[in-house]
Amino acid sequence: MLGRMDPERDLVAGTRFKLRRAQEHLNALDAGVAGFLGREPYAVIGRFEGGRTRHVHEFIEMEKPPVEWGVWIGEFAYNLRAALDQAVYHLTLSFSHKELPGIGFPVEGTREAFFALSKKTGNLSSHSGLWRIRGTAPDVQHLVESWQPYNDPKGDGALIAVLSRVGNQDKHRVPVLAAATFVEGGIILTPPHPGRSRLHSGPTQHGDIVTEYEFVSPAPPATTVRGEFRFDVVLEGFGEVPAVRLLTDVYERVKHMLNSLLMRAQI
């Protein structure tokens, strides 16, 4: 005989399944990137120019990251956002004992937007962040407000902003993964020859110059120039942090937030 289902417990289980599904997408991306980089899809080619007065390393992209990865990232972001929204929905039912329209987990860039008031009535605006969690307990409202990006724009708050940006981007186009080159240890000249170097680390496109060394005088024929390079994959438009590391940090942050919210669930 089947037992009677508890809708509230079932809702919390569904929220955790969303988190688990996001983890599956992240694991698939991690394995995919590792295999992709193992095929050595990127390289640099060094050459002298200007009568040996300049040496450059040029980035060569022989293979692009699969578009499918962008789809995984979009679904990853969707599941994390949905899990947060569902947690707020559950906490609203738990505290207010009824459904309310427009509820969900807010992500606001400013304190003014989170606490915005209606210009017509002076009451809480339906476009504010606080309005979306108005049916939850005061301690939940305080906690969610403390997690907003404007409170920690360079730390955990930035991770929530990344999640929001990726999710919004995915509504219009698939997130794009791009190459990144990291120059490690600078440029090594054998034998040494005076000059000035310029290095580029971070997102890289085919044909970009990633190192440049200008000699004060033409380099002797025996001079060799070597650079140490590391390649990775980044999310286009999201800086130079490798995509898997960035999304792992986002996942861990959301997991912590969800656990904190669901601990307050009265079931």
Strand order in the sheet with 177-190: 202-204, 177-190, 224-235
d(CA 147, CA 150): 8
Other Cβ atoms less than 10 A from the Cβ of 80: the count is 30
Q: How far is CA 132 from CA 75, 116, 209, in A?
A: 23, 12, 48
Closest by CA to 183, choosing from 58, 23, 40, is: 58
pLDDT of residue 264: 84
For position 2, what pLDDT does the model report? 45
Per-residue pLDDT of the chain (267 residues; tens, 9 = 90+): 444 445 556 668 889 999 999 999 999 999 999 999 999 999 999 999 999 999 999 999 999 999 999 999 999 999 999 999 999 999 999 999 999 999 999 999 999 999 999 999 999 999 999 999 999 999 999 999 999 999 999 999 999 999 999 999 999 999 999 999 998 878 999 999 999 999 998 999 999 999 999 999 999 999 999 999 999 999 999 999 999 999 999 999 999 999 999 988 754
Alpha carbon 67 to its chain's center: 17
Predicted local confidence at residue 12, as pLDDT: 81
Q: What's the predicted TM-score (pTM) here? A: 0.91
Q: Give whole-number Cα distances, 139 to 96, 124, 256, in Å.
A: 14, 18, 17
Rounded CA gap, 267 and 249, in Å?
A: 29
Residue spans of beta strands (DSSP E) within 21-145: 42-49, 54-61
> Do 234 and 180 touch, CB atoms closer than 8 A?
yes
Cα 211 → chain centroid: 27
Taking the alpha carbons of 128, 131, 133, 134 in that order, is the dihedral positive or negative?
positive
Residues pairing with 227 in the sheet: 187
**Type of residue at 224:** T
Return d(Cα 62, Cα 46) in angstroms, integer. 16
Determine the Cα–Cα distance for residues 42 and 124; give it in Å rounded to an integer: 53
Buried/exposed code over 194-223 (b: 16+ C-beta within 10 A; e: otherwise): ebeeebbebbbeeebebbbbebeeebeeeb
Write down the residue that tokens 């004992």 correspond to: 97
